[in-house]
A and B are shown apart, each in its own frame.
Chain A
Amino acid sequence: MRLLLGTLFAFAIAALIGLGATWLTLKEGIAYGGITVGAWTAWPKNGTPGIDPYARAMVARSGELPIGSGDGITFFARTDDTTRPLDGRCDVTLSGTTPPARFWTLTLYDPEGKLVANSVQRHGFTSQELIRSASGTFGITIGPRARPGNWLPTGGVERYVLALRLYDTPVGLATRSGPDTAMPSISQKGCP
């Protein structure tokens, strides 16, 4: 009787801890080998056969296709530079320079990876369509209200994710260049 109770108890603990840990890692998006620059994080290994098992499980669950490493690399930002979550009701300024790449695109998604509906049907920018200053730097305003210049509408959603994709780039391939890769800064103000 004791043996049976003990076994059942151990199995219950195992199921709780095992499934709980799996659920938590997938929900929190824990994966190894990320490069973090400011608010941006990329997982260069996700586009190679060397993708780690946690990232594989997440990719299988979400249904996305990670960019192949010969194609490009994706940096995700869920917060601003001060680690405050990005809020679609605030005015966010993205400015600075991007790492070397033939093309890049910036896209705004909801946390599940869907595009966000808005009145002007703009979901992002490509490096070709930005208005830049004479020195080559750029600024993008992300917010619910229309702005002159490069405006990326949020549709007023509470949480969103930015994806900066670099195409045909040396970043992440040979170099494990973390902090010396220049990524745009993200600052948030005017929150309700």
Chain B
Amino acid sequence: MIRFLLWLLGGVLLGGVVHLATVLLLPRMATQDAYSRLAPLTPVNKVVPVPHPSPDKATMPFMDPAFAMAVCRYDLTQAPLKFTVPISQAYTSVSFYTRADIAYYAINDRAAGRRVIELDLMTPDQHNDLPDNEEITAADRLIVESPTNTGLIVIKALAAEPGLLTSAQNTLNSAKCQPMPQ
């Protein structure tokens, strides 16, 4: 009887380990996460509009239908990236996600404070390699550090009423993400 209880206790403890391990490993094994859903629709380092969600079809669950959305799936392995988007009438935001769909930075039009949101995206190593003088001359340049080489830039523009959706989508069409010339 004692022996049985000991085996049971061992099993329960091991069960705890299994539980923690599966929770931690699940994000790495997921095949239907946001990045994997967007990957087939998006060429690398290019801004692509995400289809507007409808009851029959949505790229991701829980998308906000009041927004036009575009994505730049980036890869910084070769070079840092230059990103620009003009701001729309109502509200524009740019959010950055790692390959594992973790939001690490987001900025909106008011925080950017100009008619255009303009920034450079690079890895911490590329940031360290920047020549010092260049950083001074471009003091007003916004630099965002990506913790991973690949990830997503998600650009959203609010259509305050359904009739404004096309205009919001047009704003996003002028967004650009391009590798910097080396």
Name A residues whose Cβ lies closer than 8 Å to a Cβ of B: 2, 6-7, 9-19, 21-22, 25-26, 46-49, 51, 53-54, 56-57, 59-72, 74, 102-103, 105, 107, 109, 112-117, 123-124, 126, 128-129, 163, 165, 167-168
Contact = CB atoms under 8 A, between A and B. Distances in A.
Q: Is the interface of B mostly helix, strand, loop or mixed?
A: mixed
Given A56-B102, A116-B55, 5 more contacts: A63-B33, A63-B36, A67-B103, A69-B106, A163-B62
Contacts of B22: 18-19, 22
Contacts of B91: 102-103, 167-168
Task: In the A-B complex, list the 4 residue pairs whose CB atoms are closest, starting with the nearest.
Answer: A18-B18, A113-B61, A13-B11, A68-B106
Interface string B25-67: 0110010111011000000000000000111101011111111
Interface residues of B, number: 63
A60 B11 contact: no
14 contacts: A14-B12, A17-B12, A18-B17, A53-B24, A57-B27, A59-B101, A61-B26, A61-B30, A66-B101, A68-B96, A69-B106, A107-B65, A113-B58, A126-B158
Contact of A103 (B21, B62, B105, B158): B158
Contacts, number: 202
B55 A114 contact: yes
Contact of A115 (B65, B97, B160): B65
Q: Is the interface of A mostly helix, strand, loop or mixed?
A: mixed
B107 interface: yes
Max chain B CB contacts within 10 Å: which of A11, A26, A115?
Answer: A115
A147 to B, nearest CB: 19
A113 B14 CA distance: 34
B101 A9 contact: no
